[in-house]
Amino acid sequence: MGVIIQDIRVICTAPEGINLVVIKVETNQPGLYGLGCGTFAYRHKMVQALVEDYLKPLLVGQNAENIEQLWQLMHQNAYWRNGPIENNAISGVDMALWDIKGKLANMPCYQLFGGKCREGIPVYRHVDGRDLSEICDNIQRFQEMGITHLRCQCGGYGGGGYGKAPATAPMGAPDGVYLDSRAYIRDTVKLFEGIRDKIGYDIALVHDVHERIAPVEAVRLAKELESFDLFFLEDPVPLEQSEWLRILRQQTSIPIAQGELFNNPAEWRGLIANRLIDFIRVHISQIGGITPARKLQIFAEQFGVRTAWHGPGDMSPIAHAANIHIDLAAQNFGVQEWSGIEPPNFVIQELKGPKGALLDVFHGLPEYKDGYVYANDQPGLGIELDEAEAAKYPCEATVTQWTQTRLRDGSLQTP
């Protein structure tokens, strides 16, 4: 008879201005359900419709214990595969099935993945500011909290923030995030020189190019940053330009982390097998959840590539927990991005509740203490959702602005 899926529900909530999509898989066993993250913050209604209209009819009546089989069923059902909306919807169900599996075993998920390789997870936090002294102050604040890895940026990614077209743009140019790659490269090199000068070499530093410059400029930036001993350079080129990583690799030994936009194995397989990256950085819900992420992690281990899963504010605490559970059991774990309980420095919609409302909606978050994040030891992923609280913060579909990144002439550049 087994554990039969009886219902699949989608709960959309935006307690801190970011649209979060939670999938709840309910079973025929009294009180046994799982929660997963299918957050695609900028297309949340699409994920909701896909789960409610297609995955629920496909899965109700199936045995929730057969995670691999159900993952393949979802993955192959629409014939066309690996789209971001589809993958996030699949992820929501997949994580919920692992949550159920852990509850059935009465074990936290990291035990199902082989048990702990380490007790706590070292994380990196994000630091930016207007100038070197503000950035160094922010670095020191994190150091006092025990943080050992920091991602440092001059202003926004690529140096810009959303606003009106600057005077240097052509007449009639649209609003956007205007980039000046030459100024950005100069400022970034100066920033790392200044940080090493003022703070020293004890702290591990990361920088995120966020695909916002031309590939050949990324090669130059990487070479110029090499002497500042970066832990890694993040997303130097767009995924469509990943063959440039071979050229970059030939010219510098700077460690490369790539992949928060990856959708499918064809995008990472060659980069890992040819040792063109050092850290794989996928967004776990974006590739379809825990099931494909575990396969990827084990594949990467064979080639000496470490993990640094994407961990931004625009994903739910359930996804953060999934990252941490995989990290705990991964021999080839590198570092974990940790936005923790803080929303990113932009919001999609006006905050409906107080800052910190995320903690009213989600309970059991992995906890940060003195440089490390710890999972709780509850069965499954260990996160609970207060549905009544979640309902207080409805999601809104709005036009996404921060992705409208533009070159000086107003034409678009990948965000």
The single residue of 44, 207, 210, 310 carrying the catalytic annotation is 210
Largest CA distance in the chain: 69
| Distance (Å, whole) CA 123 – CA 115 | 20
Annotated active-site residue 162? The verdict is no
| Distance (Å, whole) CA 415 – CA 393 | 28
Site string for Mg ion, 136-175 (x = CB under 5 A): ----------------------------------------
Question: What tokens appear for 347 in the block?
Answer: 């919001």
Rounded least distance, CB 342 to Mg ion, Å = 16
Of 184-192, 200-208, 247-255, 400-408, which part binds Mg ion (CB under 5 A)? 200-208
Interacting residues of 173 by C-beta distance below 8 A, sequence separation 6+? 165, 406, 409, 410
Q: How distant is the alpha carbon of residue 299 from its chain centre?
A: 19
Site string for Mg ion, 206-225 (x = CB under 5 A): --x-----------------
Question: What tokens appear for 177 in the block?
Answer: 């995030």
The footprint of Mg ion on residues 34-93 (CB under 5 A) is: none
The single residue of 33, 110, 124, 157 carrying the catalytic annotation is 157
| Distance (Å, whole) CA 68 – CA 105 | 17
Which string of b and e fits 45-72 if b means at least 16 CB within 10 Å? bbbbebbeeebbebbeebebeebeebbe
Site string for Mg ion, 222-261 (x = CB under 5 A): ------------x---------------------------
Order of strands across the sheet that contains 162-163: 162-163, 176-178, 405-406
Rounded least distance, CB 210 to Mg ion, Å = 6
Rounded least distance, CB 130 to Mg ion, Å = 21
Q: Is the Cβ of residue 124 or residue 362 nearer to Mg ion in the bound state?
A: 124
Rounded least distance, CB 3 to Mg ion, Å = 37
Q: How many residues bind Mg ion (CB under 5 A)?
A: 2
- DSSP letter at 392? T
Rounded least distance, CB 235 to Mg ion, Å = 5
Rounded least distance, CB 267 to Mg ion, Å = 16
| Distance (Å, whole) CA 107 – CA 92 | 20
Of 85-93, 202-210, 266-274, 341-349, which part binds Mg ion (CB under 5 A)? 202-210
The position carrying tokens 């909530």 is 13
Q: Is the Cβ of residue 121 or residue 257 nearer to Mg ion in the bound state?
A: 257
| Distance (Å, whole) CA 62 – CA 84 | 24
Contact assessment for residue 99 and residue 378, using Cβ atoms and an 8 Å cutoff: no
Rounded least distance, CB 206 to Mg ion, Å = 9
**DSSP run (H or E) holding 258:** strand 256-258
Q: Is the Cβ of residue 113 or residue 184 nearer to Mg ion in the bound state?
A: 184
Closest CA to 189 of 254, 261, 258: 254
The residue of the chain with the least Cβ separation from Mg ion equals 208
Question: What tokens appear for 352 in the block?
Answer: 């409906």
| Distance (Å, whole) CA 161 – CA 163 | 6
Site of interaction with Mg ion (CB under 5 A):
208, 234
Give the residue numbers marked as catalytic.
157, 210
